[in-house]
């Protein structure tokens, strides 16, 4: 049977993979060469987790000390390099991959922060920062305003995933269904908001 | 009577508020939606203090562990969202708010670094970095060259504030007047340099 | 005779100086004023080492606690401010200086990470991150896509330098020749790739 520690590890690895794909797809679109694709995949895949680990004082960060994370990040770059054509056909691939990573990372990082002894609010913030960090660095590196600022529902979707983890922790619910619910809820809120073209209000008179 | 620990806390909270306003005003000008306004307010308000805390090894950073800082950052975003019209009428509001934050943060962070046992020069550097960090991230996030590079007198104003704190510490002067003097001096140097249009020299023959 | 600890210190100081020059030259080209030149010199010179020290948990970072590093970074800014004309005449000065810094930093930081007890792969990664970090921040600050993404052979040159350090450590070879070989190999791979106009492959069909 799947151990709960394994589940979090699998979610983090899956998040690394999809964020890595999103970075690599963007790099291919910008016609970067193979090494540029790998660097942008690595930055998108690993920066959020590195930020989380620095903020909770877990040094060296998991992304540097655990070979699996690095291998998965490199693999995502290689897959996108060769299969970007197929990936492009699934429609809005950077957005969809990014949304999956958002859900996975907000849950896995919020849980890790709770495990490091942080309170509910700091743990939620670290979940959100970790989920938006990789994508923000990815966009800044190619001189784009990050998605988290341009898009309507983004950080708030990560916040929903992290809030579900904190709520489950408070109510002592079993971890596995809570984690899956949090990740799926964050993903769905993000994707449905794009699909239905939801708008958050702009400042009155701006 | 006001305790000196309280004074530093009040200065940091005030710095968070004005930097948050500066970020939110910039976000409103760029026509970001409500969530984008809150994210940019939070980034401008909290990034300098987070950088300081990481550099002195105080993890988790105060911005994540102290609910007041986060509440003040959110409040600044909400205030600017609804009152940006009134704020715009005060003239160059982003510059003025940014200058107040610069003075407050250079003083509060330099004092915190001294308290963590750092020497005078590292403490001054941390004061400067903390004061320019939030504004630099704010500008980078909307793909602008940061103010600290574009403007004539900026980092040097933060350095003045931090230097006054170090000098006061060395001479064992009472904290409260030193802190106020440092913050006001940094603010005045920055604002007067804009108002009088002071120019720092450019490289000969450039 | 030169002590090996001295050699690493000298390599780090030399790396700080050339990265600082590269930042200051870029700032002069962008017609930034004297303070902007010093800030960009400092960012390019010190950011890579600060990132390394945060990642291995060495706080406060050497760049803040060691006055020599800061003095050298400031000196690089002042030299470039007054002598940029002469430096420009050596041809592609930002690229050449950047390549020297890349080699020096990948070696010095990889060795420091090994000394902090990290394994070979994390140590290599920290060498690469530290070598590309200062230049990446320098380019982001002036709103350019970083060299590490635009240029064909860049991170891979830093990786070569770090790999030579790890290999030498594994084979218990004497440090001094290993360090020099690593730095020179990284520099040469970078410069020759520019000079011969080597291209890394782009994604098929992109």
According to the model, what pLDDT value does residue B171 have? 97
What does the alpha-carbon distance between residue C55 and residue A59 come to, in Å, rounded to a whole number?
A: 6
Please check whether residue B204 lies inside any domain of the structure.
no
| B49 contacts on A by Cβ (under 8 Å) | none
In terms of residue numbers, what domain contains B150? 4-195
B36 lies within 8 A of chain A by CB: yes
Subunits with 3+ Cβ pairs within 8 Å of C are A, B
CB spacing of C149 vs A36 below 8 angstroms: yes
CB spacing of B143 vs A144 below 8 angstroms: yes
- Distance from A178 to chain C by nearest Cα, in Å? 31
Mutant choice from A32, A85, A145 vs C, greatest count of C C-beta within 10 A: A32
C156 lies within 8 A of chain A by CB: yes
According to the model, what pLDDT value does residue B123 have? 95
Which ipTM was obtained for this model?
0.87
C54 lies within 8 A of chain A by CB: yes
Please check whether residue B203 lies inside any domain of the structure.
no
Tens digits of per-residue pLDDT, A121-134?
Answer: 999 999 999 999 99
| Local confidence pLDDT in tens for the 206 residues of chain B | 456 668 888 999 999 999 999 999 999 999 999 999 999 999 999 999 999 999 999 989 999 888 899 999 999 999 999 999 998 887 788 889 999 999 999 999 999 999 999 999 999 999 999 999 999 999 999 988 998 898 889 999 999 999 999 999 999 999 999 999 999 999 999 999 999 988 888 888 76
Please check whether residue C84 lies inside any domain of the structure.
yes
| Tally of domains within chain C | 1
Q: How far, CA to CA in Å, does B13 sit from each of B68, B96, B153, C74?
A: 8, 17, 24, 32
Nearest residue in chain B measured CA to CA from C33: B202
CB spacing of C125 vs A70 below 8 angstroms: yes
According to the model, what pLDDT value does residue B3 have? 66
Token digits for C92?
């592609």
According to the model, what pLDDT value does residue A169 have? 97
Mutant choice from B28, B54, B59, B71 vs A, greatest count of A C-beta within 10 A: B59
Whether residue A190 is predicted with pLDDT greater than 70 in this model: the reply is: yes
| C60 contacts on B by Cβ (under 8 Å) | 55-57, 118, 122, 126
Please check whether residue A203 lies inside any domain of the structure.
no
| Local confidence pLDDT in tens for the 206 residues of chain C | 456 668 888 999 999 999 999 999 999 999 999 999 999 999 999 999 999 999 999 989 999 888 899 999 999 999 999 999 998 887 788 889 999 999 999 999 999 999 999 999 999 999 999 999 999 999 999 988 998 898 889 999 999 999 999 999 999 999 999 999 999 999 999 999 999 988 888 888 76
Report, as an integer, the average pLDDT of A161-180. 97
According to the model, what pLDDT value does residue A94 have? 81
Of A2-6, A182-186, B192-196, least confident by mean pLDDT is A2-6
| C147 contacts on A by Cβ (under 8 Å) | none
Nearest residue, CB atoms, A156 vs list B29, B35, B82: B35
According to the model, what pLDDT value does residue C206 have? 67
CB spacing of B141 vs A149 below 8 angstroms: yes
Whether residue A2 is predicted with pLDDT greater than 60 in this model: the reply is: no
C196 lies within 8 A of chain A by CB: no
What does the alpha-carbon distance between residue A81 and residue A79 come to, in Å, rounded to a whole number?
A: 5
Residues 66-95 of A with CB under 8 A from C: 67, 70, 80-82, 84-85
CB pairs under 8 A between A and C: 80
CB spacing of A140 vs C144 below 8 angstroms: no
Tens digits of per-residue pLDDT, A48-81?
Answer: 999 999 999 998 999 988 889 999 999 999 999 9
What does the alpha-carbon distance between residue B24 and residue B27 come to, in Å, rounded to a whole number?
A: 5
CB spacing of A149 vs B82 below 8 angstroms: no
Subunits with 3+ Cβ pairs within 8 Å of B are A, C
According to the model, what pLDDT value does residue A17 have? 97
CB spacing of B143 vs C142 below 8 angstroms: no
According to the model, what pLDDT value does residue A66 have? 87
According to the model, what pLDDT value does residue C4 have? 64
Please check whether residue B32 lies inside any domain of the structure.
yes
SS3 for chain B is CCCHHHHHHHHHHHHHHHHHHHHHHHHHHCCCEHHHHHHHHHHHHHHHHHHHHHHCCCCCCHHHHCHHHHHHHHHHHHHHHHHHHHHHCCCCHHHHHHHHHHHHHHHHHHHHHHHCCCCHHHHHHHHHHHHHHHHHHHHHHCCCCCHHHHCCCCHHHHHHHHHHHHHHHHCCCCHHHHHHHHHHHHHHHHHHHHHCCCCCCECCCC
- Distance from B150 to chain C by nearest Cα, in Å? 7
Nearest residue, CB atoms, C64 vs list B122, B154, B205: B122
Mutant choice from B124, B198, B201, B206 vs C, greatest count of C C-beta within 10 A: B206
B126 lies within 8 A of chain C by CB: yes
């Amino acid at each position: 049977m799947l151990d709960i520690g394994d589940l979090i590890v699998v979610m983090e690895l899956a998040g690394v993979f999809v964020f890595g794909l999103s970075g690599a797809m963007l790099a291919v679109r910008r016609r970067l060469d193979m090494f540029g694709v790998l660097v942008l995949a690595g930055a998108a895949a690993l920066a959020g987790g590195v930020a989380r680990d620095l903020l909770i004082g877990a040094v060296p960060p998991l992304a540097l000390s655990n070979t699996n994370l690095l291998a998965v990040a490199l693999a995502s770059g290689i897959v996108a390099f060769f299969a970007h054509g197929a990936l492009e056909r699934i429609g809005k691939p950077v957005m969809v991959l990014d949304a999956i990573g958002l859900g996975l990372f907000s849950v896995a990082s919020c849980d890790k922060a709770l495990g490091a002894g942080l309170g509910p609010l700091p743990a939620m913030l670290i979940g959100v920062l970790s989920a938006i960090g990789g994508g923000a660095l990815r966009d800044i590196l190619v001189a784009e305003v990050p998605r988290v600022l341009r898009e309507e529902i983004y950080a708030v979707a990560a916040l929903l995933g992290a809030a579900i983890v904190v709520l489950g922790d408070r109510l002592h619910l079993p971890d596995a269904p809570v984690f899956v619910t949090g990740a799926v809820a964050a993903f769905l809120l993000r994707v449905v908001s794009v699909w239905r073209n939801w708008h958050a209000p702009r400042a009155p008179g701006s």
